[in-house]
Amino acid sequence: MAGGGRAVIFLRIFFPLRHSMGGNEYTEHCFSGSLSMPFPIVRAIPVTAPPPSLRDNTGDLDRLKRALLPELTGVPPLVPQARLAAVAAAFRRAGFTGAAIVNDLAGLPQLVDFLPAPPPSLPAMALDLGTTHLEASLIDLVHGTVLARANRENSQIRHGADILSRIHFAARGDGLTLLHAGIIEDVNCLAIELAKAAGLACGEVRALSVSGNTTMVHFFLGLDPHHLCREPYIPLVNAPDPCPAAELGLAIHPAAPVWLLPSVGSYFGGDLIAGVLASGLDLGEQTSMLIDVGTNAEVIVGNREWLIACAGAAGPALEGGVARMGMRAGPGAIEHLAIDLETKAIRYSTIGNARPRGICGSGIIDLVAGLYLSRQIDIRGKFRPQATGERLRMGDEGWIFVVVPGEESADGRPVVLSQVDLDALMRSKAAMYAILTTLLNQVGVGFAELHRIYVAGAFGRHIAPRQAIVLGMLPDLPLATYEPVGNSSLAGAELVLRDGAARRRALTLAKKITYLELNVNQEFMLRFSGSRFIPHTDRSLFPSVPFFEGE
Amino acid sequence: MAGGGRAVIFLRIFFPLRHSMGGNEYTEHCFSGSLSMPFPIVRAIPVTAPPPSLRDNTGDLDRLKRALLPELTGVPPLVPQARLAAVAAAFRRAGFTGAAIVNDLAGLPQLVDFLPAPPPSLPAMALDLGTTHLEASLIDLVHGTVLARANRENSQIRHGADILSRIHFAARGDGLTLLHAGIIEDVNCLAIELAKAAGLACGEVRALSVSGNTTMVHFFLGLDPHHLCREPYIPLVNAPDPCPAAELGLAIHPAAPVWLLPSVGSYFGGDLIAGVLASGLDLGEQTSMLIDVGTNAEVIVGNREWLIACAGAAGPALEGGVARMGMRAGPGAIEHLAIDLETKAIRYSTIGNARPRGICGSGIIDLVAGLYLSRQIDIRGKFRPQATGERLRMGDEGWIFVVVPGEESADGRPVVLSQVDLDALMRSKAAMYAILTTLLNQVGVGFAELHRIYVAGAFGRHIAPRQAIVLGMLPDLPLATYEPVGNSSLAGAELVLRDGAARRRALTLAKKITYLELNVNQEFMLRFSGSRFIPHTDRSLFPSVPFFEGE
């Protein structure tokens, strides 16, 4: 986000989210998820109420509520008007015995359905509401299993590739309405896809949790995002109350609670709160760090005592920035790559072992690190024509390096890395390292003191931290310090569906995090400049990385 | 209500509700209404929140909620999704200072609007949802004043004159939908009329309280009334949770809370709970009684320690039963009437001093008492042709007594009382006295021990208790014991709008009342038989009434 006279750092981060290609890829990362599921957002509570009799005038629903009291620790559940007739009819039909479906809304029980028997599953949808991509999972709140996963492009892209252009679009005519309707439709498509994959009807999905950046959440709720990009950059709401799905026009069960991860401010959204939840950063005795790189770069450091965070305001999203060769992780994307230091031959692997179509984030890191180590680029990130041989050629906007010739690629066009792309990566990696050092300096903690560095997003899932260290993007620490947490935004969204403790943690966290404004920070600007070399102007910071002088 | 093999007493009560003809007729009766208004259902809370700044990331609504906490005793208000954008926009527009509109929903604060300054009034609508008629008032929750009153016929009558026929209608095709839509439309018409009378838009009405019998409340909420008239006569719900007006399709403010007086059972509705509230029966140290006669006859006796109640299940409503001469209180209705014991001349007064069109409840009581005292009817309630002179003539179904000849009436048709009408009145008055005595006997309290007898409904507003005593309808007590409370259903509905203590009292009351089932009560049947004479077979019960032997 940029605008309003604000100093904006363009972090053209090259590491788009890797999408799950199916299966349970994320399960391994939900390491702080509770399998005991003490308090899911929707529960089926087995209950038998006394049948009606002449000696007891109590109404059906009043009897049902009374019978539920012990399970609800004495708090009578509310029945929304829209569910009144259905619940009452179902309770009668079931002969006053069965399972009550009870939502937990901000600590308040809400009785929304009655089934003749406890259901075999209670499907709930977790959603990572990304600026460019949406990722979702359907989890069963009864058994804690993942029933399905799905992802799709954020169709708002047609109204603006990045957040800032969408905020401007929202201000025009019915722009906000279009953006809101677009994202709701996307979520509905995902819900239908998930339900279908699990052999369910969409209306059987009983809850939705949403983890997104602050602007996306504003669009999702139909809130005017005008002030998000204007000083003092204050959201209309950071912690919206949960609401029934029907009120947002969602196609899942009309009474399904929609629970939104709270945000801390315009630049620090619920997706990061979800990341903290998933990493368990807020529970640790030792200080750790969470790095999340999506369209923006966001970093949180802390422990169970304190948490401090900062986020880099990004410019246009990756897709526009590196159109020439960058691509999302998907079939044909070069995921990993190695350059032989002597022969300079390139070996690569692609997702799905398909013919290459482009390079995704992890591949680019490998490529640029390899180019540096094989001395085909210099410490400023500029091509060295004398060392590259035939792969380098001059294009309209400068040098172009051919990674894969056209005859090997999927579509006959070569996969290339241009000097323009390389310059963008250099800015991104510089910004990332500057963010990390500035933040740690502010809290008086050295890198060596960090117990763990959790790396979230596709960046963390597929990247080799070693190659990022070579580039000077991540600090030169033992590789064991780095722990990938995958799509922690989605993992956190799953956690809040599963457990009331996670919902409470999320709300507490959002109030507890101190947010450091980097874009008005002189120290950051200085550190940014020093980081625009491979690995860094201060060689002592990266003892493990070879340094090639005098080029 | 009748049906399902149940012994049904036909209480063709002759005392239809008297409608307010405008003005503040009921104000005098809200004697337990609090003018200090400690906790209205909607409040405008003046609030100034800190403006947004770079040093505080708190979202607008989060800041507003925080600023409201002291006034809401630490309970953060919920903002419903449907109001989120509007409240946020209004709060910004107002420069973060003004008045928050906060609903009190089942003890939970709900933030639904923001105004630049505390509003001059907060209009709220109280509704007496009668089977045949709806009465409503618009009260200002800021100053406690009555802004307007209105009434109209319940348009459901087109689907059934009485409750039982409407319950049967509801079971056919889209019957329930039609009944629900009909009553919502009626309420909307009343709301529009009230708002217009007060110079407001309908959407400015900020709350609605509804006091109705259990069946009417089921129709209002769109709930299937099937089981209300079938043993064991259990409602779907006695205490429905409040809901926003928009969810019921009401035309008032979409976020206006709709608060329904709870019922005790099928035969004891929220209208009676409202009556107890309005009379203060539940607050008294001494034992008192509340008699409410609308379409049914309902009686409650008790004090602040205990409350016991019973209701007489009525047959077809008055309109059908005494079509020949009975009419609702309205212009041209004979309201009071006296018969000269010697000349037997009849003097009468009509509502609005118009030419007579019929007789309303209070006029009929006066007429029959006068006929008895002038010995034109005997103790069985049968005409004595030898004593009536020219006014009596034989019709198709028996004797007809001409109260006003055609030449004096409004439409040229005589106003008459038939023997059939008279028989119906005798059953009604017998049922009423039998109800009162059975109930008191059950609790071991004598009439003389009653501190007050509150008489509610039109019955209580216009009737002369003395004439009702002559008929043996009410016990022979000093007239000072009787205290009219008017339309206590409406008065109670006003109270719950005004004060949270009344709302809590209503919910407590509904659980506290013991309901006595009269229709399976042998004692009642015996007492009913003994009461079918004027004043009673046991003369000693009515020492002040002349008794004419040997006729």
Question: Tens digits of per-residue pLDDT, B44-96?
Answer: 999 999 999 888 889 999 999 999 999 998 999 999 999 999 999 999 999 99
Percent of chain B topping pLDDT 90:
68
What's the whole-model pTM score?
A: 0.87
Average the pLDDT over A77-93 and give the result.
96
Residue B410's alpha-carbon distances to A274, B287, B404, B405, in angstroms, are 78, 46, 10, 10
Phi-psi region of B74 (alpha: psi -120 to 50; beta: other; left: phi over 0): left
User: What pLDDT is recorded for position B32?
Assistant: 38
pLDDT tens-digit profile of A245-274? 999 999 999 999 999 999 999 888 999 999
CB B455 within 8 Å of CB B291 = yes
- Cβ burial, residue B260 (10 Å; 0-12/13-18/19+): buried
pLDDT tens-digit profile of B436-465? 999 999 899 999 999 999 988 755 567 778
pLDDT tens-digit profile of B467-481? 999 999 999 999 999
Average the pLDDT over A220-234 and give the result.
93
Beta bridge partners of A114: A100
Inter-chain residue contact B84 with A54, CB threshold 8 Å: no
Stated length of chain B: 551
Q: Which of A29-38, B101-110, B117-126 has the least mean pLDDT? A: A29-38
CB A546 within 8 Å of CB A535 = no
Inter-chain residue contact B237 with A106, CB threshold 8 Å: no
pLDDT tens-digit profile of B231-271? 888 999 999 999 999 999 999 999 999 999 999 998 889 99
Backbone phi and psi for residue B34, each to the nearest 5 degrees, phi listed first:
-90, 130
CA triple A184-A190-A192, angle to 5 deg = 100
Token duo for residue A13 = 């981060």
**Hey, is the C-beta of B248 within 8 angstroms of any chain A C-beta?**
yes
Give the pairing type, strands B398-404 and B453-456. unpaired
Stated length of chain A: 551
Phi-psi region of A280 (alpha: psi -120 to 50; beta: other; left: phi over 0): left
Coil, strand or helix at B306: coil
CB B195 within 8 Å of CB B123 = yes
Contacts for B434 with CB less than 8 Å, ≥ 6 apart: B524, B527, B528, B530, B531
Assembly ipTM: 0.85
Inter-chain residue contact B234 with A82, CB threshold 8 Å: no
Secondary structure (H, E, C), A291-310 = EEECCCEEEEEECCCCEEEE
Contacts for B181 with CB less than 8 Å, ≥ 6 apart: B249
Inter-chain residue contact A248 with B81, CB threshold 8 Å: yes
A with B: how many residue pairs have Cβ under 8 Å apart? Answer: 148
Inter-chain residue contact B224 with A88, CB threshold 8 Å: yes
Between CA A428 and CA A9 the distance in angstroms is: 9
**Hey, is the C-beta of B6 within 8 angstroms of any chain A C-beta?**
no
> How remote is the C-alpha of B113 from its chain's centroid?
32
Domains of chain B: 7-39+122-551 (3.30.420.480), 42-115 (3.10.20.880)
Please tell me which residue of chain B has the smallest CA distance to A222: B85
- Provide DSSP, A141-204: TTT--EEEEEEEE-GGGGG-SSHHHHHHHHTSTTHHHHHHHHHHHHHHHHHHHHHHHTT--GGG
Q: Which of A56, A237, A517 to mutate to test the interface with B (most CBs of B within 10 A)?
A: A237
User: What pLDDT is recorded for position A20?
Assistant: 32
